[in-house]
Structure 1
Amino acid sequence: MTNQIILSKLERLKNGQKPRVLDLFAGCGGLSLGFHAAGFEIGAAVEFDPDAARSHGLNFHDGDPKHSCAIDITETHPEDLVSKLELGPVPEAFDVIIGGPPCQAFARVGRSKLREVDAHPQAFIHDPRARLYKEYLRYVDAFQPLAVLMENVPDILNHGGHNVAEETCEILEAKGYVSRYTLLNAAFYGVPQMRERMFLVAYRREVADQVTFPEPTNWLVLPSGYEGTRAVALKTVGGLFGEVHSYVAPPVATPVQERAVTAEDAIGDLPLIKARELVAAGALKRGARRFDQFIPYGKKSKLSGYAQLMRSWPGFEASPDGLRDHVIRYLPRDYELFARMNPGDQYPEAYQHAVEMFEERLTAAREKGAALKEGSDEYQQLRDSIIPPYDASKFPNKWRKMWKDQPARTLMAHLGKDSYSHIHYDSLQARTISVREAARLQSFPDGFQFSGTMNPAFRQIGNAVPPLLSKALAQTIMATLQTRIAQLQEEHVGDRTAATV
């Protein structure tokens, strides 16, 4: 029965139909966008966050309400999903499943637990860490895809004492797939961000007998922190868990390739937002940031190739009126401090700059006759208006001013809370990055729309897989499927020839 379903899907692709994708834990659609760009049809998505679900429906299904509502995968059976979307029989609905269960789902869930969860649907039903993994596997069982893509953080190679990627491959192998995983850094694939993630790809054995990963297109020397993260992850692969069958080394980037896309390449063409001037003019105030006003691009003599791509991405072209989501946080205490910081400065350096600023203003006030005694209310008010309250020894990575000539550091979902991890490199603007700048650093094109206000949009962007990296993976998967289709076509021609003879 299973083989017939797989062959039926291959026959459909052989007849010229696009592979249909189901995106689980889809977020706003970073993975979906990459697959869409590579020629896949985005059939459906499952996403729990309402704002992210609306974003996905808005961008891939023209805002169709059926595709824009939040879905709890723990309460939605595959049968319910296809019935709601009128997709026909469950096993025939999709050809590819992509996505990545949140990493919390895997904490301390070992090989024996994962196998039991897979084999017994009621096992560990009260354990949310295992439940999301169980649902992912259940969707794979129900839809019997030709290919599977999973994404997660590098720590999943040693999560709670277990190599979850290796264990996942074992389970998929038992289901009839050939599976491999590796670590890829987005900066090697044209993304202006040094984002390291684990990717697992699996094919039905009727489709392929090996897995490959895309070759890098860009080159840079990763900072020590990223190399260290990769080294730790690979150390666990190499010895902590004994024999490892499914890991493959990442494809190697070399200096002959194009240099990595820099932050300036990515956002240097966007309209200036001079935060201090806006505050002084009363044009920037506290309150929700909505995407209800266009900001014109303005003129720039020459766009980087990356900026051109972001403005002209097929199907997601920029609006001729400009940008709606080029909005920033209201952080009046810190704008002057941002201007003083040097590229690469983190919170300890920012804190020291703030102390110096406070001492300068304290001296100036005293020279004018102000009696600002240490410990007084006036003294403390002045100090609090300049110096951030965080302990510099406990939050070294909380702040960072970007370098303009390097890719940005990893964007996180925490962008939705404060954005201090990505302070604009331009001291004239002296601010944290805007929503659209965050989207550019993740490689979302300017025509991609985010539902909700500023904070939910930042969170969606930080949680996403960079679409350009997704596209590289999708193109490799598409090539594998097309190779198999070509083989089937040759076999069909051969059979007809033999019958004629």
Structure 2
Amino acid sequence: MGCTYKTIDLFAGPGGLAEGFSTIRNGDGDRVFPIALSVEKEPSAFATLRLRSFFRQFESPPEDYDRYLAGQISKQDLIDAHPDEWARAVAETAMLELGSEQAAAELDERLSLVESEKGVRTVVIGGPPCQAYSLVGRARNKGIAGYDPAEDHRHFLYREYIGILQRLQPAAFVMENVKGLLSARVAGERIIEKVLADLETAGGGLGSYVLFPLVDDDRGGLPGHLIRSENFGIPQCRHRVILLGLRRDIADVLPDSMKAGLRLQPVDRQVTVRDAISRMPELRSGLSRGGDSPGAWVEAAIRALRSASAACREDGDWLADVQMRLLDCAMELASREKILPRTSRIVTPLKDNALGAWISKDAPTTLPNHESRGHMEGDLARYAFAAAFAEVFERSPKAGEFPKALAPDHGNWESGKFADRFRVQAWGRASTTVTSHISKDGHYFIHPDPMQCRSLTVREAARLQTFPDNYFFEGNRTQQYVQVGNAVPPLLARQIAEIVARMLGAIS
């Protein structure tokens, strides 16, 4: 039998890291990294996490799972139909707030069960909360009267992760965090230096864990550890610090050729927004004010397209192509017999490539989480303009490039601080970073088709994050957006897991 490593997933979110790690199989067909425990505190993310744990209990998803995604049966019906699989999912997931006394007691009991298994080998993965490290979070914190970074417990939650390393002494660990970790400081001390020191000594002594770079890239202030996802087949420019460590006794016997040769392999061609979402069912946006109906939306959208076209004409010849594109869209929309829906469950295939194979594996018969949001009528024109501009110029417009007639009533619109206030995800590029802010409004995540006049749906954002189409996000739509934005792209996690498996000799 090939080697397997019980895997502990901390600060798991909806389970992006675990999804990638759980797909690696050894020569016997067994999971190299079976998930022994996933821990998450936020209820909706935890519900998603547990449901995915349930999904993994099957070699192929049961028909009842598809029926649940389609809304034909309740979750209780699903549980009742498969009680043993649900019980196993309950056993490997825990809704705990790491750092609390309650969590410490329950986690101690859960980890004792893992440790009690004779000859068990473990791996620890996870991403401690990043709000206190992120550039946006730090800017927000500065505006809080009396804010003291040294008193912000979020800066030190990574120590909960360190504590699990010290207890389990896993063969390897993977820790993910935001790029802002590299520049964050508390009391004048760089957080990253403290994190690295704590990780490297988590085995009980100096150098008891050895960090290995995942990429051949000297940029970012921590050579080899800043991962630019767009270079590795992810349709998104997501830059994250990912630290891979091996226990010293394992690292010391690795051949030099393996130490130097195991890196994430760049792709030949950047995977784009078009690759990920162009074949998805088209939707219209909704109207958030004044009552929404198909007819009312068509009238509002035509007005928006025409007003955006007129605004381009007033701004000069340089927007002539954008103006004509908007006018063509208005004419086409007026001539259509059928109005696009606001939601669709139709499953559509991706291109026959690596991303398509990953997203579409065990594809459901009904597409979940694909429903548009409502927008103010005034924003429809801005969304349409941004999308048409990107079709012409192959990039999103800056605030200064918007026609004056489309400028929002924001006092800081021309300050230069919000140049990307309205940002379209251009077809021919990887998207910008999908963040939890997508839950607040759609302005930073405008769909590239000007005919649809909307922001991205949860499912479109999930595809940019490389979640398979059968990955269902629980909770309300706002909670779903937050889960997607906070996750590690599962397809990137799989590539990292494959490197870890090779280092541990679990696969050749």
- By the TM > 0.5 criterion, same fold? yes
Q: Distance between the aligned counterparts of 1:171 and 1:438, measured in 2?
A: 35
Which residue is 2:338 aligned to? Answer: none
In structure 1, what is the equivalent of residue 159 of structure 2?
A: 134
Change (3 A) 1:77 1:297: closer
How many Å separate the matches in 1 of 2:264 and 2:343?
40
Query: Which one of 376, 399, 404 corresponds to residue 348 of structure 1?
Result: 399
- The amino acid that maps onto 1:198 is V
Equivalent runs, 1:39-438 vs 2, <5 Å = 39=25, 40-62=33-55, 64-67=89-92, 70-75=95-100, 76=102, 80-81=106-107, 83-84=109-110, 87-89=113-115, 95-104=122-131, 128-160=153-185, 162-174=189-201, 175=203, 176-181=208-213, 182-209=225-252, 214-218=263-267, 258-275=268-285, 279-281=293-295, 295-297=345-347, 303-305=351-353, 308-313=356-361, 317-320=362-365, 322-333=366-377, 334-341=379-386, 342-343=389-390, 344-346=395-397, 348-349=399-400, 352-353=402-403, 355-356=404-405, 387-389=408-410, 391-392=412-413, 393=415, 394-438=417-461
TM-score normalized by the length of structure 1? 0.67
Count of residue correspondences: 373
Q: 1:404 to 1:162 in 2, by over 3 A?
A: farther
**For the structure 1 residues 347 and 31, does the alpha-carbon distance in structure 2 shift closer, same or farther, using more than 3 Å as the test?**
same
Distance in 2 separating the partners of 1:276 and 1:88? 49
Deviation string 1:27-86 (CA, Å, 9 cap, x unpaired) is 001111110122321111111111111111110234544555521111255662263588
Give 1:345 deviation, angstroms: 3.1
Distance 1:296 1:69, change over 3 A: same
SS at match of 1:58: helix
1:18 and 1:318, CA in 2 relative to 1: closer, same or farther beyond 3 A? same
**Aligned residue in 1 for 2:11:** 25
Higher mean C-alpha displacement, 50-59 vs 208-217: 208-217
- Give per-residue Cα distances to partners, 1:10-33, cap 9 Å, x unaligned: xxxxx4352111111110011111
Asked if residue 457 in structure 1 is aligned to residue 477 in structure 2, the reply is no
Q: Tell me the secondary structure at the aligned position of residue 295 of structure 1.
A: coil
Instruction: Give the Cα separation in 1 of the matches to 2:372 and 2:176.
Output: 30
Partner of 1:439: helix, strand, or coil?
Answer: helix
Identity across aligned pairs (percent)?
30
Deviations 1:389-430 (A, max 9, x none): 463123223321121011001111111111321111111112
1:433 to 1:293, Cα distance in 2 relative to 1, 3 A: closer
Do the aligned partners of 2:438 and 2:481 also contact (CA within 8 Å) in 1?
Answer: yes
Does the C-alpha gap of structure 1 residues 21 and 283 become closer, same or farther in structure 2, counting only changes over 3 Å?
Answer: farther
1:336 Cα deviation (Å)?
2.6
2:38 partner SS? strand
Cα distance in structure 1, aligned partners of 2:459 and 2:167? 38
Amino acid at match of 1:192: P
Matched-pair contact (CA < 8 Å) for 2:368–2:470: no
AA matched with 1:133? Y
- Could you list the per-position Cα deviations for residues 156-194 of structure 1 after superposition, in whole angstroms to 9, with x for gaps in the alignment? 122115443443333333322112451111111110001
5+ unaligned residues in a row in structure 2: which ranges? 26-32, 56-85, 135-148, 214-224, 299-341
3-state SS of 2:375 partner: coil
Distance change >3 Å, CA 442–CA 53, structure 1 → 2? same
Larger Rg belongs to: 1
Check conservation: 1:98, 1:149, Cα contact below 8 A.
Answer: yes
Q: Which runs of 5+ in 1 are unaligned?
A: 1-14, 108-123, 219-257, 285-291, 358-385, 487-501
Rate the CA distance shift 1:476–1:78 in 2: closer, same or farther, 3 A. Answer: farther
Q: Normalising by structure 2, report the TM-score.
A: 0.66
> Could you say what secondary structure the match of 1:140 adopts?
helix
The amino acid that maps onto 1:281 is G
User: How far apart are residue 151 of structure 1 and its match?
Assistant: 1.0
Return the letter of the residue paired with 1:183.
L
Whether the aligned pair in 2 keeps the contact of 1:24 and 1:46 (CA below 8 Å) is yes
Q: Separation in 1 of the partners of 2:130 and 2:456?
A: 27
CA offsets 1:181-210 (integer angstroms, 9 cap, x no match): 511111111100011111111111121236
Letter in 2 for 1:260: Q
Equivalent-residue separation in structure 2 for 1:415 and 1:478 (angstroms): 34
Q: Which moved more, 1:338-347 or 1:427-436?
A: 338-347
Aligned partner of 2:242: which letter? F
Report the alpha carbon displacement of residue 311 of structure 1 after superposing the two structures with TM.
4.3
Q: Which amino acid aligns with 1:356?
A: A
1:36–1:42 Cα contact (<8 Å) kept: yes
Q: Once the two structures are superposed, what CA deviation does each residue of 1:271-321 show, in whole Å capped at 9, x if it has no partner?
A: 00133798543689xxxxxxx9862136x7x835256324433xxx2212x
Q: Cα gap change, 1:417/1:68 in structure 2, threshold over 3 Å: closer, same or farther?
A: farther
Offset at residue 434 of structure 1 (A):
0.7
Q: In the aligned structure 1, how far is the partner of 2:433 from the partner of 2:375?
A: 22
Q: 1:131 to 1:153 in 2, by over 3 A?
A: closer
1:261 alignment partner, SS class:
coil
* Residues 69 and 398 of structure 1: CA distance in aligned 2, closer, same or farther (over 3 Å): farther
CA RMSD of aligned residues (A): 3.2
The answer on whether the counterparts of 2:10 and 2:127 sit within 8 Å (CA) in structure 1 is yes
